[in-house]
Amino acid sequence: MQKICLNSWCRAPFDVTEDDLTFLERVSPVFAGKKELIPPPTLCPDCRQRRRMSFRNERQLYRRKCDVTGQDIISVFSPDSPHKVCEKNHWFSDAFDPLAYGRPYDAARPFFDQFRSFALAIPLPSLRVELSENCEFNSDVRESKNCYLCARTHQSQDMLYTYRGSRSSDCTDCTQVKKSSFLYECVECMNCTDSRYLFFCSDCANCAFLLDCRNCLDCFMCSNLRGKRYYFLNEQLTKDAYEAKLREFDFGSRKMVKMAESMYRGIRRKAIRRNLMNIQCENVTGDNLFRCKNCLQCYGAFDSVDGRYLYDVNLYRDAMDAYTGGRDSELIYETTSVAASYGTSFCLRTSGCQRVHYSFFITASKDIFGCIGLRRSQYCILNKQYTKDEYERLVPRIIAAMRVNGEWGEFFPASCAPFAYNETAAMERFPLMEEQAKELGYRWHPPEPRVPRAQTYRVPDAIDQVANDAMESVLVCEECGKNYKIVPQELAVYRARRIPLPDSCPDCRHLRRSREQNPWKLREGLCAKCSVPMVTSYPADTEMQIYCENCYRKEVY
């Protein structure tokens, strides 16, 4: 069936397929033997994804007080947030009892209105940093060590300013790197080491300024290479000639690096790109998929089966409408950051759970509805404990009232979002102006009121010219004008690897790397080689040569 998105500023047509309806019937929860059918979505896929992403602050950190312990903390919640915030170690300890905040369900009030009041009353965790050491200044980090200003980084160590690092080490200013080490300013790389300025590469070492290269060693300023060594500007050189060329280039000079970046932009315009990067996949639509099967309109998914509208997930099975998550989750619907869970819907951050619905921050629990922060719990509603019979009698009553109010089957509305819109991941993928965000019901975080401090340190051209006083000085971003600083471990990396001191702040560097990634949207186009019709996620105005899969393989392999 075709529907029209109910967002008044969108109104885009979208399809709800028979397979979508079949999935919704399968994921619909059962209480006391009766299935509570989840209705079809009312928003288009983009608006549903925007709504989910607006519940995740992935990179903004603030200094503030803990509302429980009174100590000074680092948090994803700003000091002026309406939410109470608890220092993460205390929040995850037995000293914090989430059941103490339980309240009875009020049949006279809409569920979302009750949940919002409840969420404002119970302290939320300051950060999501789990099983990690020396990782206080990060957001969403797990099983990691010695990381600084990283986000969504797991099983990694000695990482700086990296977004989405996984099983990696010693990477600085990178985006989406996996099983890699000693990388600098790299985007979408896997199994790479001792390299810088790599884009969409794998199994490369001791390389720089590469685009779409595989299994390469000692290559510089190249694209579309496979299994090569000693290549310079896509030309084969001898070992001695290659090393002589590299000696002419000083990686520690900003002037030289910017010259190389200009050369790289010329290489990029001539580069050949495959229309879709779906590897070892079967029956999929979307882009950047790896070992996926039967996945419809999915982006950035790994090892997932029977998925629909999934974004940045790993090891998902039989799931629809999810942003981030992994660890063998199944029967998942309208969630963000759900891992190792089953039969879960309309949730923010559940881990190791079963049959959890409309809840935040739930761990190792099952049969939960409308709760926050529970661990090892069962049969709870709004953090109030019930017996099994009481739970299974009350939840259908809540769902019946939600149907009347148009709430059942919808993810949480903007009024329940724990962050201001411009603090969230949604702002990067779906940017809004302040007036637009407020019109949709979101909060907006005002810019910092303080006046930026005057620059006290002029960033020199060469790393050899940087003295230790750079760490005590005030730097001003050349792109946005914000202050930023250089920390000791950062300067040590720059000196050891001959990297010039950055002249822009971490946020601008992150946004610059983000622009290397394609939008989550497919369009029809023609192969630049054979003119056959094809589908791609590259924008129509891209400078690169987009080939269909057959032409790409013939040209590159």
Residues 487 and 529 in one domain: no
The 10s digit of each residue's pLDDT in 82-98 is 999 999 999 999 999 99
Indicate whether 354 belongs to any domain.
no
pTM of the model: 0.93
Q: Identify the pLDDT of residue 557.
A: 86
Q: Does residue 542 lie in a domain region?
A: yes
Q: Is residue 14 part of a domain?
A: yes
Residue 503 lies in a domain: yes
pLDDT in tens, 467-478: 898 898 888 899
Instruction: Report yes or no on 185 lying in a domain.
Output: no
pLDDT tens track for 156-194: 999 999 999 999 999 999 999 999 999 999 999 999 999
Q: Residue 455 pLDDT more than 70?
A: no
494 assigned to some structural domain = yes
Does 155 map to a domain? Answer: no
The structural domain count of the chain equals 3
- Tell me whether residue 471 is in a domain: yes
Is 294 within 8 Å of 301 (Cβ atoms)? no
Q: Are 151 and 58 in contact (CB under 8 A)?
A: yes
508 and 477 within one domain: yes
Rounded to the nearest 10 degrees, the angle between the axes of helix 388-404 and helix 111-121 is 120
Residues 467 and 508 in one domain: yes
**pLDDT of the residue at 268:** 85
Tokens of residue 121, six digits: 């009353």
Instruction: Using the 3D structure, point to which of 10, 25, 44 is the last residue of a domain.
Output: 44
SS3 of 281, please? coil
Query: Model confidence over 514-546: pLDDT tens digits?
Result: 999 999 999 999 999 999 999 999 999 998 999
User: What is the dihedral angle through the alpha carbons of 276, 277, 282, 283, rounded to the nearest 10 degrees?
Assistant: -30
Confidence of residue 319 (pLDDT cuts 50, 70, 90): very high
Question: Domain span at residue 483?
Answer: 463-514
* Integer Cα distance of 331 and 344 in angstroms: 7
**When comparing pLDDT for 347 and 450, which is higher?**
347
pLDDT tens digits, 498-520: 999 999 999 999 999 999 999 99
